[in-house]
Amino acid sequence: MKRFVLLILPAAVPTALVLGAAVTMGVAQSMGLTPVAGGPQSSLDAYSAVASSGELAPAVVISLSIALVATAIAIAVGFTTALAMTTTRFGSKVLKGLAISTIPIPHVIGAAAIGLLLADSGWLARLFGSTAGNWPQFVAGPWWAATIIEYAWKESAFIALVVAATLSRDADELAKTAAVLGAGPAARMRYVTMPLATPALILAGTLSFVYALGSFEVPWLLGRAYPEPLPVLAYRLFTSTDLEVRPQAFAVSMVTMAIALVIGVSALRLFRRQVVTA
Amino acid sequence: MTAAVDLVNLTRTYPTASAPALKGVDLTVEPGQAVAVLGPSGSGKTTLLRLAAGLDAPDDGDIRLNGASVLHLPPQRRGIAMVSQRPLLFPHMSVLDNVAFGPRMAGAGRMQARNTATRYLELVELPGFGRRRTTELSGGQQQRIALARALAATPQVLLLDEPFSALDSELKSQMHQLLLELRAVLQPTIIMVTHDHHEAMLLADSVAIIIGGMLQQHGPAQSLFTHPQSLAVSRFLGGRNEISGEMRGRAFHCKLGVLRLADGTACAQGRAVMVIRQEAVRLVELTATDADTRGIITHAVAHGARTLVEVCAEGVPLQCEVPPGTPIHVGDHVGVALPVSQRQVLLDDPCPAPSRVGTPAVEHVH
């Protein structure tokens, strides 16, 4: 057995066991095999029920939209920050410090902080002397602004660190090599820096997207009541006093997982095709 | 594809450094000529190339190509390509597209650039490698591709920053041969940084020695070895014999007696040091008429195929290299000839003198 396989086994085995057990339990419960409530027969009734309720499709659309916009902003900000980190002395110290200090903050704390900052009675509204009704509806508003800002802020720091780690290897030297071969700043960005950063952007962007898709606490704290994103819908169904709808909560979770898997596999295929020609 | 290069009074001090990396370096390279820049680590050799390429800006001085200053031009517009110790191939491109990069940046269409790249791949004897990924190549092949990529950009000047130092000796020899062949065909102007004296002598028309950020000497390689202009150059090039004394008129007075200098040799009067290469010193019979002094063999150690012998003459240690098979016995009395044409007298230098022949002594070397 190859050495690297042996080295990752201590981390991979417990992860696979926990994940495998959770997915198995989730699939079973989504098919009606729930403890206490329900019968011993498996069925797809929960999937049918949640699909016909009219809540699933809007939840999918709003979840994908939030994840897409937040990830796009995070990629743009993260990539720019990574470039500044690897090419400027200011960036290498200050921005790196900011990014590193952002990572350990839990999303729930981040969401609370963003709420306190952006709510119509929040810190910024007071700073600008805004009266109630004049302040844009960042929190619980129609555009999910606070939710997207929270994800974009946290994930841009993550993406910046991942991309900076990739670019710090050889990107600067390769860009200089391209320069002495006749490439101007735009050509260096197009043919050298971007292609070198793309694999890291794909991987980090995918992780951010999947996280934003499946995370519950941020839209629950900062989002509006309807339409509910997938994880909020799943949580509401799961905590319902009616135990009969609990399989529907797991059905929503399984749909979320399926979307995440499709995104992940697509990103992996894209990652493997990263060969660029000048 | 060739230009005269003038580096004029180049000076560069890095913000965090206490001493300048380069101090007033003047270097002229004629079109199509190759200059090797030799110097110890940290002497400013790579800084010199980075300034010439436009990857760094000098604090003072000028860089001229065919008489015109290029100091204000960014690297991509200078017409100067560079190959580093690491090949630095673009990992996301095929070999062909790596070599085609320069022509593409110069405005060639993709097909035209690839056709050009194919010709350069043939030139570096790697035809058929175009479709490969760079990670599929050996170190030597990668360095050939880096060379082909730099040449395909048709630079006026090619800078080589220790490009072969990471290769094993056989690959290095192959690359030397390749570079000589490419020089014959393309005749680029080359400035090459190297640590390797033999590489410099083999590949370059002239050698420039930089020590402590200052250009010490520039001239034909052989003359640097036989007639260094400072003790620092002599020591850097491995000169081992330094005889302290005093110049009076045309004669050098020292413990060995009075030593004549070759006619036409200019030197200052007063305290001085005579240097003479160990390769030039000859061991002769005690009674030989060409013996300049006599002494006793104190050490003899193998030095590659030859033997390095130290003779103590009048308290002065003299070192010489003798060919394989020469019978040497420590303790023997011998005559020592110091050829007049190889004697060079330099001003005294407070730097430490070169090391003595290593120990342990070899009693009998045949």
Sort out which chain B residues have CB atoms less than 8 A from A89's CB and list them: none
What is the spatial distance between Cα A50 and Cα A254, in angstroms, rounded to a whole number? 12
8 Å CB contact of A277 and B93: yes
Is the minimum CB–CB distance between B57 and chain A shorter than 8 Å? no
Rg of chain A over Cα atoms, rounded to whole angstroms, equals 22
Given a contact cutoff of 8 angstroms between Cβ atoms, the answer to whether B176 and B202 are in contact is yes
Sort out which chain B residues have CB atoms less than 8 A from A170's CB and list them: 88, 91
Residue B361: band (very low, low, confident or very high) from pLDDT cuts 50, 70, 90: very low
8 Å CB contact of B54 and A179: yes
Check residue B360 and give its pLDDT: 39
Check residue A185 and give its pLDDT: 95
What CA–CA distances, in Å, run from B344 to B236, B265, B338, B356? 16, 8, 11, 20
Sort out which chain B residues have CB atoms less than 8 A from A277's CB and list them: 93-94, 97, 110
A41 or B101: which leads in pLDDT: B101
Residue B302: band (very low, low, confident or very high) from pLDDT cuts 50, 70, 90: confident
CATH code of A202's domain: 1.10.3720.10
Sort out which chain B residues have CB atoms less than 8 A from A182's CB and list them: 76, 102, 105-106, 153
pLDDT, chain B, mean: 89
Query: Domain for residue A30, yes or no?
Result: no
Check residue B264 and give its pLDDT: 73
Pick left, alpha or beta for residue A241 (phi over 0 → left; psi -120 to 50 → alpha; otherwise beta). alpha
Query: Domain for residue A192, yes or no?
Result: yes
Nearest-neighbour CA in chain A from B104: distance (Å): 7
* Residue A96: other Cβ atoms inside 10 A: 18
Q: Whole domain around residue A265: which residue ranges?
A: 45-272
What is the spatial distance between Cα A222 and Cα A217, in angstroms, rounded to a whole number? 8
Sort out which chain A residues have CB atoms less than 8 A from B110's CB and list them: 277-278
Place of tokens 């003198």: B353
What is the spatial distance between Cα B82 and Cα B88, in angstroms, rounded to a whole number? 11
Residue B365 has pLDDT above 60, yes or no: no
Given a contact cutoff of 8 angstroms between Cβ atoms, the answer to whether B84 and A161 are in contact is no
Average pLDDT over residues B272-282: 93
The SS3 of residue B142 is: helix
Q: Which of B76, B86, B93 shows the shortest C-beta gap to A183?
A: B76
* Residue A143: other Cβ atoms inside 10 A: 14
Is the minimum CB–CB distance between B298 and chain A shorter than 8 Å? no
Can B5-221 and B227-365 be said to share one CATH topology?
A: no
Residue B352 has pLDDT above 70, yes or no: no
Domain ranges, ordered by start, for chain B: 5-221, 227-365
B171 or A237: which leads in pLDDT: A237
Query: Domain for residue A146, yes or no?
Result: yes
Check residue B12 and give its pLDDT: 95
CA–chain centroid gap for B216, Å, is 12
Residue B182 has pLDDT above 50, yes or no: yes
Residue A277: band (very low, low, confident or very high) from pLDDT cuts 50, 70, 90: very low
Query: Domain for residue A154, yes or no?
Result: yes
Check residue A1 and give its pLDDT: 67
- Which runs of consecutive H residues, i.e. helices, occur in B63-186? 95-105, 110-123, 139-152, 169-186
Give the tens place of pLDDT for each residue, B220-250: 988 888 889 899 999 999 899 999 999 888 8
Contacts (Cβ under 8 Å, ≥6 apart) of B282:
B320, B336, B337, B339
Nearest-neighbour CA in chain A from B15: distance (Å): 13
Check residue B362 and give its pLDDT: 37
DSSP state of B326: -
Check residue B366 and give its pLDDT: 38
Q: Choosing among A180, A192, A196, A277, which should be mutated to test the B contact, i.e. which has the most B CBs within 10 A?
A: A180
Residue B23 has pLDDT above 60, yes or no: yes
Query: Domain for residue A134, yes or no?
Result: yes
Residue B105: band (very low, low, confident or very high) from pLDDT cuts 50, 70, 90: very high
Among A89-103, A153-167, B137-151, the range scoring the smallest mean pLDDT is: A89-103
Average pLDDT over residues A211-227: 93
| B222: exposed, middle or buried (Cβ count in 10 Å: 0-12, 13-18, 19+) | exposed
Average pLDDT over residues A254-271: 94
Place of tokens 């061991």: B283
What is the spatial distance between Cα B182 and Cα B189, in angstroms, rounded to a whole number? 12
Positive or negative torsion for Cα A101, A104, A107, A110: negative
Is the minimum CB–CB distance between B52 and chain A shorter than 8 Å? no
Check residue B1 and give its pLDDT: 61
| Four-CA torsion A112, A117, A121, A124, nearest 10 degrees | 180
- The angle, 0 to 180 degrees and rounded to 10, between the axes of the packed helices B139-152 and B95-105 is 20
Number of domains forming the structure of chain A = 1
Given a contact cutoff of 8 angstroms between Cβ atoms, the answer to whether B70 and B123 are in contact is no
> Hey, what CATH class is B227-365 in?
mainly beta
- Closest C-alpha to B181, from B119, B124, B122, B121: B124
Average pLDDT over residues B308-318: 94
8 Å CB contact of B55 and A195: no
Sort out which chain A residues have CB atoms less than 8 A from B159's CB and list them: 180
∠ CA B323-B329-B333, nearest 5°, is 100
CATH architecture of B5-221: 3-Layer(aba) Sandwich (3.40)
- Closest C-alpha to A22, from A42, A30, A244: A30
Give the tens place of pLDDT for each residue, A119-159: 988 999 999 988 767 889 999 988 999 999 999 999 999 99
Check residue A274 and give its pLDDT: 67
Residue B349 has pLDDT above 70, yes or no: no
Nearest CA in chain B to A186: B105
Contacts (Cβ under 8 Å, ≥6 apart) of A28:
A42
